[in-house]
Amino acid sequence: MKKNKPEKGIRELYSPERIDYSLGVAKDLIPEYARNPLAEALSFLPENVIDFVTEKIIFISILDNVDGLYYPFNHPFFKNRVGFILFPNNLWERSIIEVAFTVAHEIAHAFKEWDIQSWEDLENTKRSFKNEKAADKLAVEWLSKNFPKKKLLK
């Protein structure tokens, strides 16, 4: 049975603690209780994906007691970033395999630059279905070294 730890030989740079630190301001829009599950989920990804995320992506999961936040795109949070990923707050209460798969799936969209150009893109079920399946496939590929494929596809 596979263990839920990053594969042997992974450099200390890719430990959950170092990943959390490497996220820098990118983690400032994630509540404190979500940072450990996020960093652990990221630690299961390939090194090049972790590098991409820590350099280019902002994660957002607003606290339950916050009605909303505004940050202009010229805010330091967004400097040199290509996009952001929104997560629901209840994600962090789920099992690590569910968190890891959800995080990997959304990163796959960013990594492959599958963006949404318009509301019509969301309504284009054929394109949307194709991208969702491709993101699932890439997430499974990335995570299958640490989790059984059957559990990832639930």
Average confidence (pLDDT) over 54-80: 77
In percent, how much of the chain has pLDDT > 70?
A: 76
Average confidence (pLDDT) over 38-47: 94
Tell me the per-residue pLDDT of 99-151, one tens digit each, with 9 for 90 and over. 999 999 999 999 987 665 555 655 666 667 788 899 999 999 999 999 999 88
Q: Dihedrals φ, ψ of 57, to 5°?
A: -120, 145
**Which pLDDT value is given to residue 48?**
93
Instruction: Name the average pLDDT for the chain.
Output: 81
CA Rg value for the chain = 15
